[in-house]
Amino acid sequence: MHALIVTCRPECTGDIKKLLGKSGIECTTTTPRNLDKIWFHQYHIAYIHPPIEEEDCTHAIKKIRETNSQIPILLPYPITQLIENAYVLPRNISKNDITLTIKALSIIKSEKLKKNLKFQDLVLDPSKRVVRRSGKLVNLRNKAFCILEILMQNPKRIISREEITEIIWDRNSILTSNTINSHISHLRKQIDKGFKQKLIHTVHYAGYKLDTSKY
C-alpha cells in the first residue's frame, strides 16, 4: 500500500513515515504546490499533514479530486467546504492512532481496487490479471497490462507519457523514445484487432486514452 503525505514542512513527517513504514505502507511526501507532478492513482490514501494553512489544504484537495475522486483524504482539521470521502482527525490524536487510521483506510481502498474494471465490452480483472474483450481472453505483456489498467481507471481522459512513466517505471529508469509506443502498439494489436470499434487511441503531442472516439 502507498500513502501520499501533503505538507508545507516535509521535514516534520519523519516520525509518521517511520511508523507507516513499519506497518508496511510506503510513503511519498510532497508540498501542496508540487501536486502537479504527482500521479494520484498509485496511492491508497492522501494525508494532509500539519502544519498547513487552510488555503494550501483547499488547494491540495482540489488538485487531488481533479484526477482521483475516489482516494480517501485524511484532514488534520475541519474545513469550510464539504469533501466527499474525507475524514477529519480528532484533536490531539497520537501518531500511532494516525498510523492505524491511515492503514485502515488504505486497506478499504485496496479492496476497492480489486474490483473489475469495465469499459464497453472490455473487462480487466486486476486481482487475477485477466483481460477479456467481448468475452474473449486477451493475452498481454506485463507492462501493457499495467498501461491498460491506468487507461481503464481513467476512461476518456488523456494520459500523458510522463504519467505512465511515473507510475509503471522507476523515475530513474532510462527509457528509449520507442518504449511506450511499443507497448501501446502491442495493446492495440491485442485489444482492437478484429474489432470495428477501436478503444486505444493516441492523442498526438498529448498522450493516450481509452475511448470510443479519438476526439
Q: Above 60 in pLDDT, residue 171? A: no
CATH code for the domain in which residue 77 is found: 3.40.50.280
Q: Are 123 and 136 in contact (CB under 8 A)?
A: no
Count Cβ neighbours within 10 Å for each residue of 158-171 and write b for 16 or more, e otherwise.
Answer: ebebebbbebbeee
Name the residue with higher pLDDT: 65 or 101. 101
Q: Above 60 in pLDDT, residue 51? A: yes
Select from 38, 97, 109 the least CA-distant residue to 72: 109
Q: Are residues 76 and 138 in the same domain?
A: no
Residue 169: its pLDDT value, please?
Answer: 75
Q: Above 90 in pLDDT, residue 174? A: no
Q: Are residues 101 and 134 in the same domain?
A: no
Could you give the number of structural domains in the chain?
A: 2
Q: Read off the pLDDT of each residue in 97-124 and give the average, rounded to a whole number.
A: 85
Residue 110: its pLDDT value, please?
Answer: 67
The domain in which residue 181 lies consists of 117-210
Q: How far apart are CA 140 and CA 153, in angstroms?
A: 17
pLDDT mean across residues, the chain: 87
- How is residue 173 written as a grid cell? 529508469
